[in-house]
Amino acid sequence: MSLKPSDIRLRLTDSERDRGDHDLNPGMVPTDRLRAAAVLVPLVARPEGTTVLLTRRTEHLHHHAGQISFPGGRIEESDSSPEDAALRETEEEIGLTRHHIEVMGRLGIYRTRTGFEITPVVGWVTPPFDLSPDRFEVAEVFEVPLSFVSDPKNHERHSREWQGVVRHFYVLPYGGYYIWGATAGMLVNLAERLNP
């Protein structure tokens, strides 16, 4: 799937309701005190088709060890906006600098059961670029074709018991990668926005 920045901007202009883990778990209401975070949803303009850049977190981290994620993190007081936070975190985590990224817009805020309110910022990334991942946080950086992400047949619904309750979540299994949870939920939201 190849898109142009104008295609993406047009499809992100409509307002979107907030999303979250509660979409597949109606009884799961996020906590009142959510921590603000922002992630970059990097769409890479490859000649063979647009891809989505993702990271795999290192195994020794205390939270979400080994999971697939977007670059991003908490919004700090020094950040002027969620976009600023997403771009700062992306540079810190994987070394991708701002001048390679054109901000296209936002997806709806994504609320997690773990207490975060995440603003997904969609960015258009133009190669060539060099990456220098923070080896403490990032085990691997890889790309998934946007055509794979956009195909609803790849949006699996799984469930697992957690604290005595069955929880449902999206999974996008790609090659040897198990993309699930909030990252998968945001990818499904992206697919819904980009599909006509």
| Residue 22 or residue 131, greater confidence | 131
Identify the sign of the CA torsion 8, 53, 84, 79: positive
Q: Write out pLDDT tens, residues 62-100.
A: 555 568 999 999 999 999 999 999 999 999 999 999 999
What's the half-sphere exposure (Cβ side, CA atoms, 13 Å) at 107?
29
pTM value?
A: 0.87
Looking at residue 195, its pLDDT comes to: 82
Q: Write out pLDDT tens, residues 2-41.
A: 677 776 776 675 556 676 665 655 666 666 678 899 999 9
Give per-residue burial for 96-128: e unless 16+ CB within 10 Å, then b: beeebbbbbbbbbbbbbbeebbbbbbbbbbeee
Q: Write out pLDDT tens, residues 139-170.
A: 999 999 999 999 999 999 988 776 777 787 89
| Residue 42 or residue 163, greater confidence | 42
- Give me the mean pLDDT over the 120-137 stretch: 94
Name, in order, each residue with C-beta under 8 angstroms of 40's C-beta and a sequence gap of 6 or more. 70, 71, 72, 86, 87, 89, 90, 101, 121, 123
Looking at residue 68, its pLDDT comes to: 95
Domains by residue range for the chain, with CATH:
5-191 (3.90.79.10)
Alpha-carbon span 129 to 142, nearest angstrom:
14
Looking at residue 4, its pLDDT comes to: 73
